[in-house]
Chain A
């Protein structure tokens, strides 16, 4: 009888123990996060303490599919389903640092995706507006962000091409989806001296970033070469 009872209790508790291991922020994941920040981000030149703190705080494994959570802190992008990806941690940190956030900005993100980038932004600025066009992804991520109490993130299901007129103008805009041109409506919703950043290239291969700065009627586009490119271009120039 006692043995049966014990088996019953174990069976009852086992799922919750396993679930806590997968979904909770265990010491194992905290340790992996610290390692990630040190080896993949700080050592590659990310120095903004706000960004580093945010990367150390936000549990990335919440934002990846459960079966890949053991890879959440690895140095590469991961698929999140439906052909979408969660960016490599370094790219997330690099994009956030280049916005030069002081903590008082209003930021618009086009392409909520997994919600990880929005979560990082929410730790470094005042308000984050994020738009996702894929309904399933929007519903899943909105629920996730709400359940983890990211109060300064406002999500919306819609077409990011036209921005968010009701909340414009924005200090910064971040486009996380691949585009072949920068949508003119987004440029209009950018404040003067505002910044717009987007990644270039395939998420599984290599990415460099494009930072657009609005100055009155002109735009400058700064190509921020991902750290991965530096040896190659450096080599090419050494050969001069």
Chain B
């Protein structure tokens, strides 16, 4: 029964976690999904801590708690807490933005935090009990836990479109209840057995459990059906564009489809008017529009273009300059990532052939139907890697989120040096690249993209890269134009800017006066900074410029692909001052939110790890080696998972697909590893760690080449090869935890404590890995994984030799370890 309970609770709680991430992405913002991870930590780790403390007070708890009656009770409690916490989350008027103004919001936040952690606490409790009760079968417990988690991660993919977030949460939390009818034991054969069993689960208890299960199921049906499920319907934040539009009269939702990639809402409203980069000289009317929103934000606009002249408004937008320079382009490639204003541009240009690449299948389908244009539903980078066509114009449209800073953590491969190089390679000899973005002050995005274009041109050995770049702006957007040939007819650019009241920011030979004529700043800040960066590149002092500049504006690469991230931690004080010394403005940045969550999780982890130490008798205090081993193993596992998730985003182009493939793949393979570990003796622990370490080092050295190869694969191979690559490593990372549980630990209390350590390390690492990727790059994550497993190896070599002082090996080896890091 306990194996099944571990399996079903792991399955249900991971589904709950994945769906909570979806809920937070819709009702709040993407980066708050890290809070869900910290909630899960608090639950999982607290269960181990509680059992560790219990162990010192009451012996034999593991036997009592693992009885069928207790397990059934915990399962029912899990279901009740999961349903209650989600319903409260949905009803409670928690408003992230009101936190600085309304003290009651802190109470709401704390309530939600504690309530949501309860289901994870109960899942952790059952798993920890299983490890403690069956020390000789840790491999099987590990298998049940990991296999359950793997299925739990996959379940939302097919079921989300059918049920939506709220209903699916309620339904999947009911899954563990399937075990309740089997709680009743077989008929006892002897009197003593009968007595034991009566203690475990009497007939009355059995009926009570079934009745409880039925009541929960009944309440769930009411929640799902009452007012059409309004109580459990997840609503987008009122600050998101979707909610704003719905407040306007005659706005109506035509279609709403939930999926693991996000919730897509199709809205018709006469008040949708999207035309970024539009000149003030435009005096006509915009065509009617409708829009699709993803998770209540990331608007994609569709224009009703009955005639070609309906698209003529786009001739007065900044990006159209690229089409003017290309003059009647033969073949245009439009890479869409939000927005939608690129399509009227292409249509107005009179291009003879148009290829649109859109990653999101729902939006791709909508474009195909609405415009009757061919759309390639593919990751743009994969499309370019496989295509050998040449285009006259490549237009990349991506305006970012509605709140600056919210996309800081977004990993995007459309604006890296490698991406620019691909664009340039796919242009004809006279080809033009167009990229438009929001104008930021102080200059950030515009500098970074200029530098990226320059670096890319230089990497292709193009002489005088500056003569290939032009940058223009209006009052809130800018457009970067990169030409394969150096600009010969600069008069076209200058006339366009003059006639449409746009300002030139960069074009070789322009002066300060022409950079600040129509959209006037106190100083032409963007022009001046690009002049500085241009000079720095010419004198090969660009590194000094990037070090010196207040924000991080250095070009991004595929190893560090975070184009919306500008914060330098060393300059945080100055950035804080620049925002009026108002603390809450910093919380607009996802990176800062994640840092806060990390410190919060760190404090919780320390508390959870240290609390049991006060209750452990002195003779048992050889606990530090255990903690260190399981901290290392937990950290190593999570680093491995996150490395692959981040690496595979380049292949799949979508973080959600990458997350699902890697999580389910590694969990399945590691569960098999755990299963096999059951056959291994204690010596194999060290060998496994050494093999793992060597394997990770090899991945660190050579994985980039493999990823770029896979990018060129087509069809099913693009999915099969990455999954196969996960197999050996996933299998190997499944050994250290169950083997450690079996051979390194002696008592149930130690196992419970090790469970806490593993949980704490997993969550802290997941947050830390995000920061490592932002600051150093994705490849560093695998180096950290290798270091973590190496540390675990050192602990097995020295920490369990029975030395009197468990710290002695630490002092000898830590120095070397940190050097390695």
* A residues apposed to B, CB below 8 Å: 67-68, 71, 74-76, 78-79, 82-83, 133-135, 159, 161, 180-184, 187-188, 200-202, 204-206, 208, 210, 212, 217-223, 225, 227-229, 231-233, 235-237, 239-240
The reply to whether A200 and B476 contact each other, CB–CB distance below 8 Å, is: yes
Contacts of A78 in B (CB 8 A): 101
B578→A205 contact, CB < 8 A:
no
A residues in contact with B578, CB < 8 Å: 228-229, 231-232, 235
Contact of A221 among B95, B519, B529 (CB under 8 A): B519
Q: A-facing mask of B431-443, CB < 8 A → 1, else 0?
A: 0000000000111
Complex contact A79–B550 (CB within 8 A): no
- Chain A: minimal CB distance from B800 (Å): 53
CB of A235 within 8 A of CB of B476, answer no
Which one of A78, A202, A208 has the greatest number of beta carbons of chain B within 10 Å? A202
Give chain A residues whose Cβ lies under 8 Å from the Cβ of B441.
Answer: 208, 223, 225, 229, 233
Instruction: Give A236's nearest chain B residue, CB to CB.
Output: B442
Instruction: List chain B residues, Cβ under 8 A from A187.
Output: 280, 283
Contact with A along B724-753 (1 / 0, CB 8 A): 000000000000000000000000000000
* CB < 8 Å neighbour of A206 from B249, B474, B585: B585
Contacts of A233 in B (CB 8 A): 441-442, 522-523, 525
Contact for B284 among A184, A217, A227, CB less than 8 A: A184
**Structural contact, B580 and A228, CB atoms closer than 8 A:** yes
**Does B97 belong to the interface (CB within 8 Å)?**
yes
Verify B442–A232 contact, CB threshold 8 A: yes
Question: Would A79 and B98 count as touching, CB distance under 8 A?
Answer: yes
Contact present for A83 and B238 (CB under 8 Å): yes
> A161 to B474, alpha carbons, bound, how many Å?
20
Give complex CA distance A76, B102 in Å.
13
The contact string, 1 if C-beta is below 8 Å from chain A, for chain B 238-272, is: 11100110011100000000000000000000110
A159–B273 Cα distance when bound, in Å, is 12
> In the complex, A19 Cα to B629 Cα: how many Å?
63
Structural contact, A204 and B584, CB atoms closer than 8 A: yes
- Complex partner residue of B285 from A182, A184, A205, CB under 8 angstroms: A184
Cα–Cα, bound, A135→B548 (Å): 51
Extra contacts besides A82-B247, A220-B519, A233-B442 (15): CB < 8 Å: A75-B580, A83-B238, A83-B240, A133-B271, A180-B274, A181-B276, A187-B283, A204-B584, A205-B404, A205-B588, A208-B441, A221-B280, A225-B522, A232-B578, A240-B528
How many A-B residue pairs have C-beta atoms within 8 angstroms? Tell me. 147
* B300 shortest CB reach to chain A, Å: 14
Known: A134-B248, A180-B476, A212-B280. A222 touches B580 (CB 8 A): no
Given A219-B280, A221-B280, A240-B528, are A83 and B548 neighbors across the interface (CB < 8 Å)? no
Q: Once bound together, how far apart are the Cα atoms of A239 and B283, in whole Å?
A: 41
Q: Type the 1/0 row for B116-155, where 1 means its CB is closer than 8 Å to any CB of A.
A: 0000000000000000000000000000000000000000
A206-B579 contact in complex given A159-B271, A223-B520, A237-B525, C-beta closer than 8 Å: yes
Residue B577 is within 8 A (CB to CB) of chain A in the complex: yes
- A71 — which chain B residues lie within 8 A by C-beta? 101
- A sample of 23 cross-chain residue pairs with beta-carbon separation below 8 angstroms, ordered by A number, consists of A83-B247, A134-B248, A181-B275, A181-B277, A182-B278, A184-B284, A184-B285, A188-B283, A204-B97, A204-B585, A204-B588, A218-B501, A219-B518, A223-B522, A228-B578, A231-B574, A233-B441, A233-B442, A235-B574, A237-B525, A237-B528, A239-B550, A240-B532
Q: Is the CB of B404 within 8 A of A67?
A: no
Which of A201, A223, A232 has a CB less than 8 Å from the CB of B574? A232
Q: Tell me the complex Cα distance, A200–B100, Å.
A: 22
**Which interface residue of B271, B441, B501, B577 has the most chain A CB atoms within 10 A?**
B441
Q: What CA separation (Å) do A219 and B316 show in the bound complex?
A: 14
Chain B nearest CB from A232 CB (Å) reads: 3
- Give the CA-CA distance A71 to B275 in the complex, in Å: 37
User: In the complex the two chains form, what is the Cα distance from A232 to B283 in whole Å?
Assistant: 36
In the complex, chain B residues whose CB is within 8 Å of the CB of A67:
102
- Residues of B that sit less than 8 Å from A by CB: 95, 97-98, 100-102, 237-240, 243-244, 247-249, 270-271, 273-278, 280-285, 403-405, 441-443, 474-476, 501, 517-523, 525, 528-529, 532, 548-550, 574-575, 577-580, 582, 584-585, 588
Residues of chain A within 8 A (CB-CB) of B247 are: 82-83, 133-134
| A161 touching B550, Cβ below 8 Å | no
Across the two chains, which residue of chain A brings its CB closest to B582?
A76
Residues from chain B with Cβ under 8 Å of A134 in the complex: 247-248
A76 to chain B, nearest CB (A): 7
Sort A-B residue pairs by CB-CB distance and give the 10 closest, nearest first.
A83-B238, A232-B578, A181-B278, A228-B580, A219-B280, A221-B475, A181-B275, A221-B519, A180-B276, A223-B521
Q: B273 touches which one: A161, A229, A232 (CB < 8 A)?
A: A161
Q: Which residues of A contact B97 (CB under 8 A)?
A: 79, 204
CB distance from B124 to the nearest CB of A (A): 36
Hey, which chain B residues are within 8 Å of A208, CB to CB?
A: 441
Q: How far is the CA of A1 from the CA of B100 in the complex (A)?
A: 48
Which chain A positions have C-beta within 8 A of B525? Answer: 233, 236-237
Bound-state Cα–Cα, A219 to B283, Å: 12
Chain A residues positioned under 8 Å from B548 (CB to CB): 239
Min distance, Cβ A135 to any Cβ of chain B, angstroms: 7
Which residues of B are found within 8 Å of A225, using beta-carbon distances? Answer: 441, 521-522
Q: Check B283 against A184 for contact (C-beta < 8 Å).
A: yes
- Residue contact A68 to B102, C-beta cutoff 8 Å: yes
Residues on B with beta carbons closer than 8 Å to the beta carbon of A204: 97, 584-585, 588
Query: When chains A and B are docked, how far (Å) is the Cα of A201 from the Cα of B403?
Result: 8
Q: How far, in whole Å, are A222 and B102 apart by their CA atoms in the complex?
A: 36
Among residues of A, the one whose C-beta sits closest to the C-beta of B236 is A83
Cα–Cα distance between A144 and B548 once the two chains are bound (Å): 52
* B520 adjacent to A220 (CB under 8 Å): yes
B267 to chain A, nearest CB (A): 15
Contact partners of B284 in chain A: CB under 8 A: 184
Do the beta carbons of B271 and A161 come within 8 Å of each other?
A: yes
A79 touches B442 (CB 8 A): no
The smallest beta-carbon distance between B440 and chain A, in angstroms, is 10
Inter-chain contact A184/B282, CB cutoff 8 Å: yes
Identify which of B243, B404, B442, B528 gathers the most chain A CB atoms within 10 Å of its CB: B442
Separation of A83 and B285 alpha carbons in the complex (Å): 28
Contact A236:B283 (CB < 8 A) given known A83-B244, A202-B404? no
Bound together, the chains give a CA A135 to CA B247 distance in angstroms of 8
Complex contact A229–B442 (CB within 8 A)? yes
> Once the chains are docked, how many angstroms separate the CA of A187 from the CA of B280?
8
Measured between alpha carbons, how far is A236 from B252 in the docked complex, in Å?
A: 46
Q: Hey, which chain A residues are within 8 Å of B100, CB to CB?
A: 76
Complex Cα spacing A78 to B102, Å: 10
**Nearest Cβ on chain A to B716's Cβ, whole angstroms:** 41
Residue picked from A68, A201, A205, A210, most chain B C-beta under 10 Å: A205
A66 to B748, CA, bound (A): 56
User: Within 8 Å CB of B238, what residues of A?
Assistant: 82-83
Q: Note all chain A residues with C-beta closer than 8 A to B442.
A: 229, 232-233, 236
Can you name the residue of chain B whose Cβ is closest to the Cβ of A219? B280
Chain A residues in 8 Å Cβ range of B280: 182, 187, 212, 219, 221
Q: Is the CB of A236 within 8 A of B520?
A: no
Could you tell me if A201 and B404 are in contact, using CB atoms closer than 8 angstroms?
Answer: yes
Q: How far is the CA of A204 from the CA of B582 in the complex (A)?
A: 10
Q: Once the chains are docked, how many angstroms separate the CA of A71 from the CA of B99? A: 13
Pairwise interchain contact A219-B523, C-beta atoms closer than 8 A: no
Residue from A133, A182, A202, A210 in contact with B588 in the complex, judged by beta carbons closer than 8 Å: A202
Contacts of A83 in B (CB 8 A): 237-240, 243-244, 247
The residues of B that contact A231 with a CB separation of less than 8 Å are 574, 577-578
Closest A residue to B285 by beta carbon equals A184
